[in-house]
Structures are given as C-alpha cells and as structure tokens.
Structure 1
C-alpha cells in the first residue's frame, strides 16, 4: 500500500491515475496499482523500454495554448475506457503531470460522468494539487462541454467553426487572407433555419442574411452583463453595421485572397458592405475579427413575422380563422 501512495489516483472507484514522466520509473507502484494501460500526452523521444509491459498510446502535443488537443479527446477517452473495462489501472502522464495529462483526464471525466469542466478539474486536483491546464486547453475543454462531449468531434459544427476561427487568427498573425478552401461559409453548414428577422438589400430587396448569422459583440454583451434581455439587433442599435459570418453569396469576393474589400448585392450589384480579414472597428468601438459587415444605411431589417404575414395565402387571416368562417 505504501507503493500505491506514490501514484496520484483520481478520487472514486475508477483505477485512473495521473502523473509525470518520473512516475513511469516507479515500477513497484505501477505493479501495485495494476496498471495495464499508459497514455502519454507529450512530444518528446520516449524510451520504449518504459512501456514494454503496458498497452501504450501516445498523443504528440506540446504544452502550448494554440495546440489542438481537443481533436484527440475521443481517442484518449476510448483508450482510458478500454483500460478500465479490462479491469486494470490506467496511467495518464505528460512531462510534469500538470497540463496536458490533466486536460485528457478532465475530458474523460466530463465524458464519463456528464459533469462540467470545473467539477472535473476539482476532482483531478484532489489527486494532484499542481494540476493547471494552460488557458488554451481550458477553452478547449469548455468547448468540449458545450458540444456535449461527442464521440465524433471533427464532424461537429461547433468544432469546425472553432478550427475556422483558429485559421482566421493564424492568417491575421501573418497578415494574409485565409486560403479559399479554409473559409467556412456558415449557411452551408447550418440546418436550423429559425431566425427572428432578415436583412435585405434596400435597393432590390434581395435577402442577404438572417439573424442567426449575426456576430455578437460588445453592445449585446454589455446589455446582457447588466441584466438586460435584449436581442443582438436591439443591443446593437447604435452600431452602423451588421457584422456577419461569411455567407455563400460572398464567395466570389472572399475567395479572391484579398485582405479587405467591398461586398456587393449579388442581384443588383449595389455596394452593401465591406470586409477585412484582419478585423475592423465597429462604431460602438468593439474590434471584430474577421470584420465582415453590411452597412445599415444600405440594408433593411424585416421581421420574420412580417415576412410570414406578407406570404400568407390570400383569404387567410392572421389568426387563420377567415377561411373556416367562409365555409
């Protein structure tokens, strides 16, 4: 039992342990804990002799905030579960047993027990108080929770959007527009068509966007922080532009590889907005990246309820009773 004390065990019935590289040299402790599976989360040359008795899985990542560890969560969760299902113990380690290994253990606990990041982190810190995932990994864990810890991360829209945002940030850092094939046109991925209003070209009335494609920024956030319950459009009423996700009608312009430019209505070719991959400042002072905007002076906002009333079949009243009354 004294040997087992040398390993940091996650509280509970699971034979799940966390540690650093040095943990692998505690052979008696590993044997006492019945370790059968070892998950290594680090990028460095490994002495294979250390792992010869165990089933071994390696995730090669550095302890950097911009590393993508999120894409590995399904595989690491499966590996941990496989070891536990086999009746043995599982050791998850990185170099120091502080950030990378902790992130994978937290992800497993979230997936296994359907708990949030804070609860899982608290459990792991009971076993190893020095645990401190870096800020980038913490954000990935938060997103993993928002995605409801899916078995398939890479085909999840939230993950694809996150990867797209990372590409935009990378392009911005080097002063270039993103590669055409990496631009995510949001209306090609969203199946939920519910929206409270449309944005139409003021000149020809062509619909250009709906409310679910608006990018929330400081005006809306500040209203919510103050306890308000305002929509994005209402909270941003003083802003001169609507900021949007890239939409498919913008494709001919956005795929040209330019850092910035104008957006024209695809029907009447009237100038309706502008874009800047490096970002632009809204009239409310918030900096939006990327900046893809429609000018309110060239756009009409039309409530969807109004649209449905306009499209209602002749003879059918708003409450739907007229037709029945005429029978």
Structure 2
C-alpha cells in the first residue's frame, strides 16, 4: 500500500506515491505532511502543512539533527485535530526513523520504549519498515539522551558530531578542524543531564610523573570496557598501558602545534598532524606523557579506540581516592556473612576494623 497507519496514532507512514492518492489522503484526514526526502517538486503539497527534511537514505546521513523539529511538527498536526503523513521514497527507512523518534519522544518517561520496541509498533501497520543501520544508531543515541527537545545543548550530541567530523577528516587523510573538536573542560560546568545519577565512589586524579602537574580527572576518562566485552578477540585480562581521554584544552598545543596561544578560539588554518605526542601542559616541564592518533590506535588489551588520545601509565601518576562513606565493596573488602560495615561511631580506620 502507498501508506499505512501506525496503530493507536493518527500518523501514517508511506512512500512518495502516497502524495498522488488524494482520495486516500482525504479519507485519512491528512492535514500535515513530513517529507523525509529530497523532493524535486512540491506540486502535490500546496493544500497541506508541510515539513521538509532533505536527506538521503545512507548510513552516514545526519537525520538525528532533524528529529526534534520533526517531532514538534507531527505533534502540532495531531493537536490541531488532523492526521499526519510521514513519507520518504518507499516508506521504509527514513520515514520510519522519524516515526520511531516521535513514538519515543511521546513516551520518553517510559524507558521501555526503545527504538526496537517503537519499530515493532510501526511494523504492526507497515511490516517492511526497516531504518538503515546508521539511522538505528542515531535513534539509539536519541534514546540515550532521553529524546531532548534541544540537541545543541547536549554534550553527547556535540561529542557525536565531533566524532563524525573526525571520521570524515581521517577518511580524507587529515586531522579534524580545531573548531569542530569539543574540548570537554572549556564548559564552566557540565549540564545537569550529564551529571552522574549518583556520586561515584572513587575519584581518579592524574598527574605528570615528572613535575606533578594535574592533567585530568575521572570525568574526562574514556572507558573502553564495552569494546572489551563485545570483541571476542580482545584480551580482556590484559592491563591497558594507556588511559584514554576526551580532548581537553591543554592538549591544543600538541594537537594543533601552529595554533595561536594568544587567541585559542581563533580559526586554525595550518596543517595539523594526524598523530603525534602529547606533552605535559606545564611549560617548564613539557615531558612526553602520551600520544594521540585521530585515526585511532590499538590499546595493549587489543581493543581499538577511535579517536585515540592516550596518556601512558608509565609516564603519569594515578591517584584514586574514595569519596563520601563508601561501601566495603568500594574498598575491595568482602565482609563475612552477617557482619556489618563499621559505622561513623567507630574511629578506627577502614581495613583495621576488620
């Protein structure tokens, strides 16, 4: 069929031919149309409220950036008492992606409505709907961000854009433009949605081994434990020789050697290296403390990190401290059955009480 209704909603999914079936559009009370396709002509759309998204059905197309506006448009159509048609070329990938985004946004407080669950709902009406893998990844990211109304304020989204820029630049054999790199510590504070749900039991502080200059803390560390679990070829028991970090502003002089120290926000126009060494940010030290590779590098545990900005553990000091009133598990202690951890009234220190 040219278009099919999503069960329980006045939303229809269809292909380009649906626009030519005026009788079907009238029967469905279509008042708003979302075109997720590069249209050559809008001659069939003059009598409808129309929202156009010019994208192709390819994995690396950024459809994520269009989701909030499309969701708002669909909702406005439903609120006006009409029905909404979301179409692409075949009514299979692009249109289904936008409809999934809407269903998740509508029920974003219900974390059980994942992209896969929303897709199954759409397939009840149009069984062959199947977003391409790249769009499914973007829907996963949209879900992880809890389907926000504003993407630009989301550090996760900004980080995703930066990674895309890195991938595109590396494919062309060059480092990403400095203006596209998100230096994590330039924000005065992380937005509330990025704050951890609960206070971590441990705080990691990293210092240059030579001069003791502070370099990074826990919130800038990238874990690749997930890659270890998913990749059977990875040696999950191997000790990682590097600590991988998000970009930080002290790295500018290493990542972009010709950038202006006087005006770090100025547009960088030189040729930045694809890979190189990280130097201690202390100008009187400048010790080699690690390396970077925009194209990625393999950790000693055999997992790949892309892009890779790594501190060599042999060249830095790593200090962990326990925060608050940690559980015995946080201290690596296993209590005998029935034994309770020492309370505040016990003045003995940690392990000595056991």
TM range (shorter): 0.7 to 0.9
Q: Secondary structure at the match of 1:37?
A: strand
Q: Quick one: which of 289, 300, 303 aligns to 1:286? A: 303
Larger fraction in helix? 1
Structure 2 match to 1:138: 136
Matched-pair contact (CA < 8 Å) for 1:21–1:95: yes
Structure 1 match to 2:319: 302
Deviation at 1:196, TM superposition (A): 2.1
Indicate how the Cα distance of structure 1 residues 236 and 294 shifts in structure 2: closer, same or farther if over 3 A, else same.
farther
Matched-pair contact (CA < 8 Å) for 2:227–2:303: no
Extract structure 1 runs of 4+ deviating beyond 6 A: 319-322
Q: Quick one: which of 64, 68, 71 aligns to 1:77? A: 71
Deviation at 1:321, TM superposition (A): 9.7
Q: 2:266 aligned with 1:249, yes or no? A: no
Deviation at 1:7, TM superposition (A): 3.7
Indicate how the Cα distance of structure 1 residues 321 and 251 shifts in structure 2: closer, same or farther if over 3 A, else same.
farther
Q: Secondary structure at the match of 1:68?
A: coil
1:140-189 CA-partner distances (Å, limit 9, x unpaired): 10000110111101221111010011011111111101111111112224
Q: Quick one: which of 244, 262, 279 aligns to 2:277? A: 262
Matched-pair contact (CA < 8 Å) for 2:165–2:180: yes
Deviation at 1:88, TM superposition (A): 0.8
1:58-92 CA-partner distances (Å, limit 9, x unpaired): 10000011111111111101110111011011100
Q: Secondary structure at the match of 1:304?
A: strand
Matched-pair contact (CA < 8 Å) for 2:2–2:15: no
Indicate how the Cα distance of structure 1 residues 173 and 236 shifts in structure 2: closer, same or farther if over 3 A, else same.
farther
Structure 1 match to 2:155: 157
Whole-angstrom distance in 2 between the partners of 1:260 and 1:122:
44
Deviation at 1:223, TM superposition (A): 5.6
Is there any run of 5+ residues in structure 1 with no aligned partner, and where?
A: 227-234, 307-318, 323-327
Deviation at 1:237, TM superposition (A): 6.3
Q: Quick one: which of 179, 182, 186 aligns to 1:188? A: 186
Matched-pair contact (CA < 8 Å) for 2:87–2:95: yes
Structure 2 match to 1:212: 219
Matched-pair contact (CA < 8 Å) for 2:3–2:15: no
TM-score normalised by the chain length of structure 2:
0.78
Whole-angstrom distance in 2 between the partners of 1:41 and 1:221:
33
Indicate how the Cα distance of structure 1 residues 8 and 164 shifts in structure 2: closer, same or farther if over 3 A, else same.
same
Structure 2 match to 1:22: 17
> Size of the alignment, in residue pairs?
298
Whole-angstrom distance in 2 between the partners of 1:299 and 1:140:
36
Indicate how the Cα distance of structure 1 residues 103 and 85 shifts in structure 2: closer, same or farther if over 3 A, else same.
same
Q: Secondary structure at the match of 1:133?
A: coil
Is there any run of 5+ residues in structure 2 with no aligned partner, and where?
A: 258-271, 324-343, 348-354
Superposition CA RMSD, Å: 2.5
Q: Quick one: which of 92, 104, 107 aligns to 2:101? A: 107
Matched-pair contact (CA < 8 Å) for 2:274–2:295: yes
Whole-angstrom distance in 2 between the partners of 1:252 and 1:88:
56
